[in-house]
Chain A
Amino acid sequence: MTHAVHRRIPEIESDYVLMMRSSKGINRAGAGAKLLEFLERIEPLGPVNFGNPADGTLLRTERDAIKKNINDGSNLHIVFKDSESARKAVEIARDMDTGLSVSLTGPLDRIRGMAAEMGLRIDSFQIDLGTIGNTHLDSATEGILSLCGHMRVSENLIKEMREKVKAGEVEPETAAREIGKVCLCGCFNPHAAGKLLNGDVK
């Protein structure tokens, strides 16, 4: 499955997913310490979510507990809400020279530009060719569903939260965080989801 490519949100510049990971038998030994150091160095950039299924995510686990859980086999997923933070994070990854694999999901042209500017030689890519057929979903619902690539978010929960936001019972970002609680991998972007929920009250 391709969990972070099919993101159907209108403001694509508010959604970058960085992944750093080791591979067994190739670069795994000592990876945990590198992942933790990288995470601590990018934290001041204000990621809106991070984590992984085994160690927890920012929307469901205490920040320090996630860090404590990180080990050589951890897959670190980090979500940024702007290109500048993502660019700085890539720069940090380049300078740390961990030897771990790093991928970034976001606008392709922007990422290619970043890579060229930093002297990085891209290895491979995965382009989204869209969705064909009728999903029977409205664009905001589809957008929020798409932020959980493991398909754990419920359409009914989105509907309930949209109604609560519309009624002024809950702030959009709080509602987004509640929806994103079911995401176990850390790729859900509560900032982008909040904007979609907020579309109802504008």
Chain B
Amino acid sequence: MKVNDTCTGCEACLPYCPQGAIHMTEEAQAAVDRELCVECGVCIDPDICPVAAFEEDQDETAKFKRSFGRLLSKHLDRRDVVKDSPYDVKTNDVTAKIPKNKVVMRLELNRPGGGLTFRDVQQMGAEMQQQGWNPDISSRTLNIDEDRSMGHLLDQRILTCHFEVELDPEQVPDIVRDATRIVTEHHLWVSINVAGLAETIDRTQNVLKAGGVTMEPVAKVNLGLGRRLS
């Protein structure tokens, strides 16, 4: 993001930046620290800046960051997106994408809060792979492995990213154990969830209990009311 010359120096924007990337210059103008900025776009919200002084950068780095920083499709140029997650509990009653007898685990990196480099993502992905898991770096991300020319962007700070892994419910405790070790070693954090079809709820919960895996009491539940309409 960048600030144009309409900035009045009112400082209203300062507390709203989720990454603390906005500061005031000696000339009393707002400015964006491009290293800290993750292109989340909060500052372009008309409710934040009364004079619309924030603008999107159009360079390669900004576009790269935006593919991880804009979690709302409304705010993302779809051309930047290579892959979307195929799994969505919210509409699974009509799309039936979640596989039978399996669960889909998501590891959402540095959530809540955000802020890590794509190198962190790659390292964690590689170490997960070494442990025998095959995480898919998914949902609104550029597939950097398929485009080596983007390697110079590896140390750019991004908001977040997530891995998805399709598993047997019985494998969940093992992957949680491995992920815990890896994120701890790299000083990262990760929010984890596991999705599955209704018939696997009890099986999954029993496995988690037996494996000593933390299970928060909250879940998203598709109530099965959707259907194909002619």
A-side residues, CB < 8 A to B, are 1-8, 12, 15, 17, 19, 21, 23, 26-27, 29-30, 53-54, 60, 90, 93-94, 97-109, 111-112, 115, 120-137, 142, 145-146, 149-157, 159-160, 181-182, 184-185
Chain A residues whose C-beta falls within 8 Å of the C-beta of B221 in the assembled complex = 103-105, 108, 111-112, 115, 122, 124-126
Complex contact B114–A151 (CB within 8 A): yes
- A selection of 11 A-B contacts at a CB cut-off of 8 Å is A5-B218, A98-B225, A99-B228, A103-B222, A122-B224, A126-B89, A128-B193, A129-B172, A133-B187, A150-B71, A155-B18
Complex contact A5–B15 (CB within 8 A): no
Complex contact B90–A129 (CB within 8 A): no
Is the CB of B66 closer than 8 A to any CB of chain A?
A: no
Is the CB of B64 closer than 8 A to any CB of chain A?
A: no
Complex contact B90–A103 (CB within 8 A): yes
B71: shortest Cβ distance to chain A, in Å? Answer: 4
Chain B residues whose C-beta falls within 8 Å of the C-beta of A152 in the assembled complex = 18, 40, 42
Chain A residues whose C-beta falls within 8 Å of the C-beta of B94 in the assembled complex = 23, 26-27, 101
Is the CB of B184 closer than 8 A to any CB of chain A?
A: yes
Is the CB of B197 closer than 8 A to any CB of chain A?
A: yes
* CA gap between A145 and B66 in the complex, in Å: 20
Chain A residues whose C-beta falls within 8 Å of the C-beta of B201 in the assembled complex = 112, 122, 125
Chain B residues whose C-beta falls within 8 Å of the C-beta of A3 in the assembled complex = 71
The residue of chain B having its C-beta at the shortest distance from the C-beta of A77 within the complex is B90
Chain B residues whose C-beta falls within 8 Å of the C-beta of A53 in the assembled complex = 72, 74-75
* CA gap between A152 and B40 in the complex, in Å: 7
* CA gap between A112 and B221 in the complex, in Å: 8
Complex contact B191–A130 (CB within 8 A): yes
* CA gap between A30 and B205 in the complex, in Å: 38
Seed contacts A30-B229, A104-B220, A123-B93; 17 additional CB < 8 Å A-B pairs = A15-B218, A27-B94, A29-B229, A53-B72, A90-B223, A99-B229, A102-B226, A111-B221, A120-B225, A123-B92, A126-B195, A127-B195, A129-B208, A130-B191, A130-B216, A132-B179, A156-B15
